[in-house]
Amino acid sequence: MEKSLELFAENGFEATSVQQITERCGISKGAFYLHFKSKDELINSLIDDFMTRFITSIEHAVSPDQPNDELLYNYLYVMFKEFQEQASFAKIFLQEQVLSFNGELLSKVQIYTTMLNKMMSSVVQRQFPNLNPNMHLDVVFSVNGLVKGYAELFLIDNYKVELQVLCNSIVEKVSIIAEHAKVQAVTLDYLRCINLKASYSKEHILELIDSILHEMKEDSIVYESLQLLKEHLHVPSLRPVLLQGLLKNIKEYDQCKWVAYLYQLYLQSEE
């Protein structure tokens, strides 16, 4: 996966072949197909690997226990830090024509984008409580535009910039926009237009739990919490307060953050 990222960053998804990936790795095509059925499946795994860690890290940085006036800074700092640490992947998405993806991959990217926009909308509403609600989406897209522009500055142009200064600079600009902006360009019709929800089935979450259970055997609290959460999916029997306690037990561990996030979404969908 690391070698394929290097190639995708150099050539793009479309121009990179399985042959090039296997040559870069020093393996046979047969060895490649033992792990992935196709290049698209590899890309799918790369997207999941990056975005799950990315979104769970941001979610933690803007959790309800964080001060409201620090939320946007926290969001930006985590985002740019992840961009720096995963530069190859971030460059791909800044330069790649995402619309060239097949339908499944495009849908996945759109769902993750919707998740990020939802979190950003929450950040905007909490940090700027006096903002006209009609302007929330405009401010969200203003933040997204600034993030993309500044990310290109250090990822594409290789311009060195101090993250703290960059984040404070964007917060300053967004604060000015939130205080003075009055012309609404993005309406709620946008949400109806994209009509996307980050929904995951019970079966999908069960598969994720099974995939990490063996890794957590040495931590009895996390292991037993995962088992109880799994049992609840099969036969709902736990009270909400117990479920939240179990999710808190597991969400501090990197391997479990995504499961906890999706489980929470699933519980909300069942309410």
Longest dimension (CA), the chain: 60
pLDDT of residue 103: 65
Record the tokens describing residue 220, joined without a space.
């009895």
**Each residue's pLDDT tens digit, 6-30:** 888 788 777 889 999 999 999 999 9
Say if residues 214 and 223 touch (Cβ distance below 8 Å): no
Neighbours of 153 (CB within 10 A): 13
What's the rounded Cα separation, in Å, for the pair 21 and 4? 6
Q: What average pLDDT does range 236-259 have in this prediction?
A: 86
Global pTM value: 0.70
- Please give the single-letter amino acid code of residue 230: K
What's the rounded Cα separation, in Å, for the pair 261 and 111? 14
**Each residue's pLDDT tens digit, 108-153:** 777 788 888 888 988 999 999 998 888 888 999 999 999 999 998 8
Contacts of 226 (CB under 8 A, 6+ apart): 209, 212, 213, 216, 250, 256, 259
Q: What average pLDDT does range 87-111 have in this prediction?
A: 68
Question: Which has the minimum average pLDDT: 10-14, 29-33, 95-99?
Answer: 95-99
pLDDT of residue 6: 85
Residue 104 pLDDT exceeds 80: no
